[in-house]
Amino acid sequence: MEIFHVHTYRCGHAEMIEDEAYVRKAIDLRANSIVFTDHAPFPGNPFGNRMEYLELPKYISKLKNLKEKYSGIIDVKIGLEIEYLPGYADYYQELKQCKDLEILMIGQHFYEIKPGTYSFSYPELYLQEYKGCLEQIIEGMATGMFQVLAHPDRAFRKIKQWSQEHEELGKKVITVAVDNNVVLEQNFSSMQTKKYYWPEFWDLTNERNRIIRGIDAHSVKEMEKAVLAF
Ligand SMILES: [Zn+2]
Ligand SMILES: [Zn+2]
């Protein structure tokens, strides 16, 4: 069993423990693989809720050490969860070139209106958030640089009810994911939050989609709870 989508203390909203505590618990839970996908920084640290840019090399080297230390016992994989913002196109290239980063996952929590201007500054756009988020998700997947899309249905968290329009956009996301070999993540944490998980979206997927279950743990307890529930 693989434990997919684990955060670390670096993001500032997760348990303050060493990365190794997750690895040890994963072994206890009989996982044969654990995938860390902490919130990626951006150069200059323009956004909160994520590691600082200068911490990135240490995040990678710490996890590399754990990978070696636990080799043969559990496979420790190194990844990042990151928004796709068109103004940072070159930065994703840079990340992609880093051979130690095994997984780049889109996790869209806001969108770019124009470089330097983001949706979180405009609460009046909240009802339309899904459009902006999904458009940039689609653009990001089409670059071919991302292997996984985290919680695609969370983009609909502000809508009142599911409609034809949401279905159309959902179908587009699903098709672009297939075309670019992007795995869609069903997110355990979303399932615990009202309106973050949309079965209507998942009903649109087909046998050509690759789907993975992610736990989105921000603490060892959350990780354990999710593994036992899944
Ligand atoms: Zn988080
Ligand atoms: Zn996450």
| DSSP one-letter string for 82-150 | E---GGGHHHHHHHHH-TT--EEEE--SS-EEETTEEGGG-GGGGGGHHHHHHHHHHHHHHTT--SEE-
Average pLDDT, integer, range 96-111: 97
Average pLDDT, integer, range 100-122: 96
Show the tokens assigned to 174: 């699903």
Query: How far, in Å, is the centroid of ligand 2 from the Cα of 117?
Result: 23
| Cα 86 to Cα 1, 92, 99, 132, 151, distances in angstroms | 35, 10, 22, 12, 20
What mean pLDDT value characterizes the chain? Answer: 96
Query: How far, in Å, is the centroid of ligand 2 from the Cα of 6?
Result: 7
Q: Kindly indicate the confidence band of residue 126, based on its pLDDT and cuts at 50, 70 and 90.
A: confident
Q: Kindly indicate the confidence band of residue 25, based on its pLDDT and cuts at 50, 70 and 90.
A: very high
Entry pTM = 0.96
Query: How far, in Å, is the centroid of ligand 1 from the Cα of 163?
Result: 29
Average pLDDT, integer, range 62-74: 98
Ligand nearest to the CA of 5: 2
First to last CA, the chain: 11
Query: How far, in Å, is the centroid of ligand 1 from the Cα of 16?
Result: 13
Q: Kindly indicate the confidence band of residue 173, based on its pLDDT and cuts at 50, 70 and 90.
A: very high
Enclosing H/E stretch for 56: helix 56-69
Q: Which residue has the tokens 């618990």?
A: 25
Query: Over 90: is that where the pLDDT of 127 sits?
Result: no
Query: Over 90: is that where the pLDDT of 10 sits?
Result: yes
Q: Considering Cα of 152, then 59, then 86, then 145, what sign does the dihedral take?
A: negative
CATH homologous superfamily of 2-229: Metal-dependent hydrolases (3.20.20.140)
Give the pLDDT of residue 78: 98
Which of 59, 114, 60, 58 lies closest to 85, judged by CA?
114
Query: How far, in Å, is the centroid of ligand 1 from the Cα of 169?
Result: 25
For 202-219, how does the pLDDT look when each residue is reduced to its tens digit (9 = 90+)? Answer: 999 999 999 999 999 999
* Count of other CB atoms within 10 angstroms of residue 191: 16
Show the tokens assigned to 149: 């899309």
Query: How far, in Å, is the centroid of ligand 2 from the Cα of 215?
Result: 8
Which amino acid belongs to residue 213? R
Residue partners of 175: CB distance under 8 A and separation at least 6: none
Which of 128, 19, 35 lies closest to 77, judged by CA?
35
Query: How far, in Å, is the centroid of ligand 1 from the Cα of 6?
Result: 9
Query: Over 90: is that where the pLDDT of 197 sits?
Result: yes
Average pLDDT, integer, range 66-93: 98
Per-residue DSSP letter, 153: G
